[in-house]
Amino acid sequence: MNEWLAAALVLLVAMVPLGVVCVRSPAVEGLVALQVGGSNAALILLLLAEGIQRQPFADLALILAATSFIGPLAFAYFLERAP
């Protein structure tokens, strides 16, 4: 195991508290945890791409970073409109 994979493992363990916050908190706090979790997942994929020398994981991380930014914005828009 190299340092890239060790860093990815540390960030993967850091996803557990974010998942707990997403499930147990109200919608607004869960939305913040979802946004941080998306950024964290993109970083994990980038670290995996470097650790195992596979370029497709880096491409997937780029797509995930873009979609994890747009998704919670749409969710917040519809959450604001809810009665």
The string of pLDDT tens digits covering residues 17-41 is 999 998 998 877 888 888 899 999 9
Mean pLDDT (whole number) for 2-27: 93
Predicted confidence (pLDDT) at residue 83 exceeds the cutoff of 70: no
The answer to whether the Cα torsion of 21, 26, 29, 31 is positive or negative is: positive
Round to whole Å and give the CA distance between 55 and 41: 16
> pTM for this one?
0.82
Are the beta carbons of 9 and 58 closer than 8 angstroms?
A: no
Q: Which has more pLDDT, 31 or 50?
A: 50
Name, in order, each residue with C-beta under 8 angstroms of 23's C-beta and a sequence gap of 6 or more. 30
The kind and range of the H/E element at 80 are helix 55-81
Q: In the predicted model, what is the mean pLDDT of the chain?
A: 88
Q: What is the distance, to the nearest Å, from the Cα of residue 32 to the centroid of all Cα atoms in its chain?
A: 11
The two structure tokens encoding residue 51: 């650790």
